[in-house]
Amino acid sequence: MQSHPRISQLLVETVAYRDLDKPVILTSGELGIYYINTEKLVQDNGEFEKFGDDSGTMIKHAIKMMREHPTFWEVIDILTEDAKRLIPDLDYGISGGQRRDWLFSGPIAYRLQVPHVSLYKDGRIEIVAPGGETYSIETLEGRRFRALQFVDLLTEASSCYRLEEGKPAGWVPMLRTNNFTIKNLVAVVTRLQGGEERLREQGINVESKVAIDKDFLQAHSRQPEIAVPYNENPQEWSKNYLMQNGALELLDTFNPTAGKLDRARKFLTRYKVVLEKTDKLGELDSAVKMKYGQHLNELFGTAL
């Protein structure tokens, strides 16, 4: 796809896109060799983290950042024009999921002077009026609205739609079961990891401003000779890397006190067999025991 040149440039300038010197384990459990931290477009040095449980305050903060940083204003301006094109009348709300989505969806709703539909991970839905007042969804009294969802980063789209114990979960089912019609979603960045296809199956049209694809990496990566092959097939690249190098460089993710054990668990689910076949699993287990005092099966129990 054709990426937006200005947002692509700003991703690099704000270090929202960054090459890594060595692989890391991403939230999904997959290996990554570059970071995409779309929230760095806001340029608040991570201050938004303080407001992650309060969408109203988060949105006020994001609007403040938009006013203070002309380049963030540029991004919001581009996204706002997309919103106008996709839903040209005012009988709708701009929705975003907790919490990084709010940095983008909130200012867009403010610019359009329409309600913001704040989706929380615990299942709550909050309405933030253009003036900043917050209301419970019950105040809508069953009135139907259309929602245009904005996300900061699209990967596999599991936060938008997934099955939990056979039942639909995620932002899309939340909206639809609460009288919102949703047919469109806009992502600031997509990693092209299947999210578009998953959402298309749910009747959602996806548009993205920047795709992390061959063209983007050749233009912006410091190591395109590595990044492009990785991007073409991350799983195959990761298997080859682990077969040759093992997982000792990933040891920090197995620190029981660092809050990253969930991604370490997902990593082992994906690549345990690869490590076993190359006699690298025992090496990792010994290193984890030596550094953190526990074997892998002690860290993860039967989940391993």
Dump pLDDT digits (tens) for 25-80: 998 899 999 999 999 999 999 999 999 999 999 999 999 999 999 999 999 999 99
> Which tens digits make up the pLDDT trace of 197-211?
999 999 999 999 999
What is the structure's pLDDT at 145?
A: 84
Query: What is the CA angle 122-124-129, rounded to 5?
Result: 140
What is the structure's pLDDT at 140?
A: 77
- What amino acid occupies position 195? G
Compute the distance between CA of residue 275 and CA of residue 278 in angstroms, rounded to an integer: 5
Cβ contacts of residue 257 below 8 Å, gap of 6+? Answer: none
Low-confidence ranges of the chain (pLDDT < 70): 90, 142, 302-304
Q: Cβ(105)–Cβ(99) under 8 Å?
A: no
What is the structure's pLDDT at 276?
A: 95
Strand 17-25 to 31-36 pairing: antiparallel
- Report DSSP letters for the chain, one per residue: ----HHHHHHHHHTTSEEEEEEEEE-TTS-EEEEEE-GGGGG-STTGGGGGTT-HHHHHHHHHHHHHH-HHHHHHHHHHHHHHHHHS-SSSEEEEEETTTTHHHHHHHHHHHT--EEEEPTTS-EEEE-TTS-EEEGGGGTT--EEEEEEEEEESS-TTTSEEETTEEESHHHHHHTTTEEEEEEEEEEE--SSHHHHHHTTT-EEEEEEE-SHHHHHHH-S-HHHHHHHHH-HHHHHHHHHHHH-SGGGGGGG-TTTT-HHHHHHHHHHHHHHHHHTT-HHHHHHHHHHHHS--HHHHHGGG-
What is the structure's pLDDT at 199?
A: 98
Compute the distance between CA of residue 124 and CA of residue 175 in angstroms, rounded to an integer: 11
- Domain annotation for the chain: domains and CATH numbers: 5-216 (3.40.50.2020), 233-303 (no CATH)
Compute the distance between CA of residue 76 and CA of residue 83 in angstroms, rounded to an integer: 10
Q: Take residue 211 and report the two structure tokens written for it.
A: 């795709």
What is the structure's pLDDT at 304?
A: 57
Compute the distance between CA of residue 5 and CA of residue 210 in angstroms, rounded to an integer: 8
- What amino acid occupies position 266? K
What is the structure's pLDDT at 88?
A: 75
Half-sphere exposure of 277 (CA within 13 A, CB side): 9
Half-sphere exposure of 260 (CA within 13 A, CB side): 16
- pTM (predicted TM-score): 0.90
What is the structure's pLDDT at 302?
A: 57
Cβ contacts of residue 7 below 8 Å, gap of 6+? Answer: 41, 75, 78, 188, 209, 210
